[in-house]
Amino acid sequence: MQTIKNILRNINQNRIFLIMVLPGALWFLFFSYLPMFGTVIAFKDYRFSRDGFLASLQQSEWVGFKNFEYLFSTNDAYVITRNTIVYNVVFIVLGLIFAVGMAIILSEIVNKRLAKVYQTGMFLPYFLSWVIVGYFTFSFLSVDKGVMNQLLTWMGKDPVSWYADTTYWPYILVFLNMWKGIGYSSVVYLAAIVGIDKTYYEAAMIDGANKWQQIRNITLPFITPLITILTLLAIGRIFYADFGLFYQIPRDSGPLYAVTNVIDTYVYRGLKATGEISMSTAAGLYQSLVGFVLVMTSNWVVRKFNKDNALF
């Protein structure tokens, strides 16, 4: 009885906050949590029933973890897991450095109008789909008509068969990912830097701090919470790869699979003929679970250092 009373009192005390979260919470309920029941598909051999989706779910046979097996069954499993993780780690680290760096640079540039022009420019790649970006990379890397090979020949070097040679692809993919994403991700940091109280810098200048010291002692500490959160969230997606980047850009070229095959492309190729939704759901669940475990661990570590910076 006492506890119920307590809860009611708590609810009453928090009612203004509860009202604030209500629309969002309802949204999560309908668009995220209600569909989540569908995840059981991953453990079933999904067949269609005449009586609609729920009946199909019910009547399909339980198969345990069978739908997950293909993710682990072959040597490819190692390759795709390694590629996915390594690329994502590189993307997270470099993305962080470049995005923060670019945000600081943009915030420091004296001519604000120019800075805005640059910023707008950097945003444009975000609008081009990977398919379109793929056309461009191809016009650069095509064996006979590509700009790169014409350049190499002109310099007296041998042309490279770009779409058959794995050597350069890790760099190409990382470069393109940075190129496409920096404009977008630096905006968040820029907005945070812009929000820093100017009096801090004024005080620092009076103390004779140089630019570097100002960045290190004011700007960076100020945006650390944001960096932490964004990194934590990125870690949660570490098992998800950007399908377009790894499929469209290398033109699905077989000889490059060793460095371009990631979980998402593997699942796509494996299931495109059969369209097994049980197996694709299983893959998604697996990717989420790993991400979840990693975030929870990292979050726990973050909490040890600074409770305020943690996700929860």
Site for other proteins in 26-85 (CB under 8 A): 26-39, 41, 45-53, 55-56, 66-67, 69-70, 73-76
What is the C-alpha separation between 235 and 301, in angstroms, rounded?
A: 13
Residue 186: count other Cβ atoms within 10 Å of its Cβ: 25
Q: What is the largest CA-CA distance in the chain?
A: 87
CA distances from 9 to 20, 23, 120, 284 (A): 18, 22, 50, 40
# binding residues, other proteins (CB under 8 A):
140
Applying CB under 8 A, among 81, 166, 231, 253 the residue interacting with other proteins is 253
Report the nearest approach of other proteins to the CB of residue 86 (Å): 19
Place of tokens 């669940």: 285
Report the nearest approach of other proteins to the CB of residue 154 (Å): 16
Report the nearest approach of other proteins to the CB of residue 87 (Å): 18
Side chain identity at residue 63, one-letter code: V
Identify whether the C-beta of residue 177 lies closer than 8 Å to the C-beta of residue 91. Answer: yes
What is the C-alpha separation between 124 and 93, in angstroms, rounded?
A: 22
> In the range 161-200, which residues lie near other proteins by CB under 8 A?
161, 163-164, 179, 182-183, 187-188, 190-192, 194-195, 197-199
> In the range 117-136, which residues lie near other proteins by CB under 8 A?
117-129, 131-133, 135-136
> In the range 216-245, which residues lie near other proteins by CB under 8 A?
222-223, 225-226, 229-230, 233, 236-237
Return the axis-axis angle of helices 112-123 and 169-194, rounded to nearest 10°. Answer: 140
Q: Which residue number, 23 or 156, has a Cβ lying nearer to other proteins?
A: 23
> In the range 134-153, which residues lie near other proteins by CB under 8 A?
135-136, 139, 142-145
What is the C-alpha separation between 139 and 119, in angstroms, rounded?
A: 26
> In the range 271-310, which residues lie near other proteins by CB under 8 A?
271-277, 279-281, 284-285, 288, 291-292, 295, 308
Does residue number 12 form part of the binding site for other proteins (CB under 8 A)?
no
The number of CA neighbours under 13 Å toward the Cβ of 228 is 20
Residue 310: which residues within 8 A CB-CB, separation 6 or more?
Answer: 228, 232, 299, 302, 303
Q: Which residue number, 97 or 105, has a Cβ lying nearer to other proteins?
A: 105
Q: What is the DSSP letter of 33?
A: I
Does residue number 94 form part of the binding site for other proteins (CB under 8 A)?
no
From 88-96, 108-116, 150-158, 165-173, span contacting other proteins (CB under 8 A) = 108-116
Report the nearest approach of other proteins to the CB of residue 309 (Å): 9
Report the nearest approach of other proteins to the CB of residue 49 (Å): 7
